[in-house]
Amino acid sequence: MTIDRLAIRTRMRDPGLTAAPSVDPATVRVMFEYVAWATAWLLVGTTAGLIASIKLHWPEFLPFAWLSFGRVRPTHTNVVLLGWSSLVMVGLALYVVSRTSRVPLWSPRLARIALGLWNLAVLGGVVTLLAGVNRGPQEYREWVWPLAVILAAAVLIDGYVAYRTVAARTLREVYVSNWYILGAFCYLPILYVTSYLPFYQGGLGNVVVQGYYMHNAMGMWFTQLALGVSYYAIPRLLGRPVYSYALGVLGFWTNLLFYPLIGAHHFIFSPEAWWLQSTAILFSVGMMVPVWAGTGNLLLTFKGSSGAVRRSYALPFFVVGLIGYGLSSTQGTIEAFRTANIYLHFTNFTVGHSHAAMYGFIVFIAWGAVYGLVPRLTGREPSPLAVGVHFWLALVGILTYVIAISVAGVLQGMAWVAGQSFIVSVTEAEPMWLWRTIGGLLMAGSHVVFAANVWAMRPQRVIAPAPSPQAARVPA
């Protein structure tokens, strides 16, 4: 047992990270297709977000039914969450699974079918939501059920491909990245199906499930995939093992135990059971354990590598993403307290928080991984200048956005607490909404640059047919 553990410690510190000599071209192609489609959805979702943002300080902008605020807003959230963020992370995760298992992806063909289903669902979501066909304002589950079925099928197929790839690994150990990634593929189907089945959602039951669903979609899907990808990409790019393997595993288990308990903190002071709300607040504090275990662990991996960060165009994205993880999660914990909730709930502060987390954490990690991993696979690099432009536009943009919208939220909350006429909260927030659009324009600009960079990284046409998984297996 002791020897076994020692073997794990030494070997796991450098799992699959010592580059295998060849990369299966079929795996590379399918990964790139995920990234490319995700990027297309990023542009669509950004457009929707910008329209929604502009409408708040210019209500007569694009006064058409299909583009009214109440339809564009869910289009924005669903496209950036289920189209862009999910697809880019799944593409990266499938690649990481294959690399850390040192085998080609189990079935690139199935992964490609899943991508098709995924695109179909997101496209259907855009059309139906803009047409006003939805299930009401139930955040991130506004899609009608047939689209949800298509999406669920895509997730299950991708999960199966990831599982079979790990099962076929040539290393004995399951590298920690794969814990997070396989976990994500377990949690999302359970979460998604639970959120759509109606049997326990009458009356406020619906709201209990809403809190559970919209919260866990973040921590049990996006966070899992982002950490899984980070635990591969960061050590790989730095050329050194992760600071502490055990902390990575601790983060995995504590996230699983604490995160699902805290969804009700979105409905504090509601008639929902008080124990549910209190449990949510308590474990929101507990979440500091996995959050800082993950952030600290990955940031400490950088220790003494500031030179590498300066030289790499991918690593700065990771640094921002990890800091974004720690800060936005801490912010979330503070927002869960009842006192903070009085001032901040229902305000734009929540919108700032969700952007800090999804964009400042998940999306920056995704960009770091795309820039860090894709060029070494396709053999094509984007211009470092263009990546720099992307980085700074995105960073200044998100900071402007989050600061503006958080100030708007505080102003709203203060106006309410002061007992002023409701419209005061609108007029006080409105200048900040203009600033939010300015931040959003910078972010949108960075996305266009990113799309051009993705195009620059496209793989060369591969002539040789993809070798079968057996033939291409590389010795460990």
Partner 1 sequence: MSFGGLHTDHRAIVAVAAIVFFVLTLVMAVLPGLREQAIPASAAAPPRGSEAERGRQVYMREGCGFCHTQFVRDLPMDRPFGRPSRHDDYALEDPPMLGTQRTGPDLADVGTRQPSETWHLIHLYDPRAVVPQSVMPAYRWYFAEKDQAGSGDVVVPVPAGHAPRGKVIVAGPDAKALVGYLLSLKQAKVSP
Site for partner 1 in 112-141 (CB under 8 A): 132-139
- 217 CB contacts (<8 Å, ≥6 apart)? 81, 140, 188, 191
260 is a site residue for partner 1 (CB under 8 A): yes
| Given 123, 156, 207, 334, the residue binding partner 1 (CB under 8 A) | 207
145 is a site residue for partner 1 (CB under 8 A): no
426 is a site residue for partner 1 (CB under 8 A): yes
For the chain, the C-alpha Rg in angstroms (whole number) is 22
Name which of 57 and 112 has its Cβ closer to partner 1.
57
User: How far is the C-alpha of 37 from the C-alpha of 82, rounded, in Å?
Assistant: 12
300 is a site residue for partner 1 (CB under 8 A): no
Q: How many residues bind partner 1 (CB under 8 A)?
A: 88
How far is CA 134 from its chain centroid?
Answer: 23
Name which of 209 and 229 has its Cβ closer to partner 1.
209
- 238 CB contacts (<8 Å, ≥6 apart)? 301, 302, 305, 308, 315
Stretch that binds partner 1, among 207-215, 225-233, 311-319, 370-378 (CB under 8 A): 207-215
CA distances from 60 to 46, 51, 175, 354 (A): 20, 11, 53, 27
Name which of 200 and 455 has its Cβ closer to partner 1.
200
Tokens representing 167 are 């099962």
Q: Is 445 exposed, middle or buried (0-12, 13-18, 19+ CB in 10 A)?
A: middle
339 is a site residue for partner 1 (CB under 8 A): no
| Given 84, 213, 313, 318, the residue binding partner 1 (CB under 8 A) | 213
Stretch that binds partner 1, among 171-179, 284-292, 302-310, 392-400 (CB under 8 A): 171-179
Q: The tokens 């179909």 sit on which residue?
A: 120
174 is a site residue for partner 1 (CB under 8 A): yes
71 is a site residue for partner 1 (CB under 8 A): yes
178 is a site residue for partner 1 (CB under 8 A): yes
106 is a site residue for partner 1 (CB under 8 A): no
Name which of 25 and 413 has its Cβ closer to partner 1.
413
User: How far is the C-alpha of 94 from the C-alpha of 268, rounded, in Å?
Assistant: 38
Stretch that binds partner 1, among 78-86, 252-260, 284-292, 318-326 (CB under 8 A): 252-260
Site for partner 1 in 351-410 (CB under 8 A): 351
Using DSSP, state whether 263 is helix, strand or coil. helix
Name which of 179 and 359 has its Cβ closer to partner 1.
179
| Given 146, 205, 379, 388, the residue binding partner 1 (CB under 8 A) | 205
For the bound state, the minimum distance from the C-beta of residue 50 to partner 1, rounded and expressed in Å, comes to: 16
12 is a site residue for partner 1 (CB under 8 A): yes
| Given 50, 144, 276, 403, the residue binding partner 1 (CB under 8 A) | 276
Site for partner 1 in 184-203 (CB under 8 A): 186-187, 190-191, 194, 200-203
User: How far is the C-alpha of 222 from the C-alpha of 181, rounded, in Å?
Assistant: 10
| Given 21, 63, 307, 475, the residue binding partner 1 (CB under 8 A) | 63
161 is a site residue for partner 1 (CB under 8 A): no
Q: The tokens 């039914």 sit on which residue?
A: 65
User: How far is the C-alpha of 58 from the C-alpha of 52, rounded, in Å?
Assistant: 10
The DSSP secondary-structure symbol of 361 reads I
User: How far is the C-alpha of 257 from the C-alpha of 267, rounded, in Å?
Assistant: 21
Residue from 100, 118, 114 nearest 16 by CA:
100
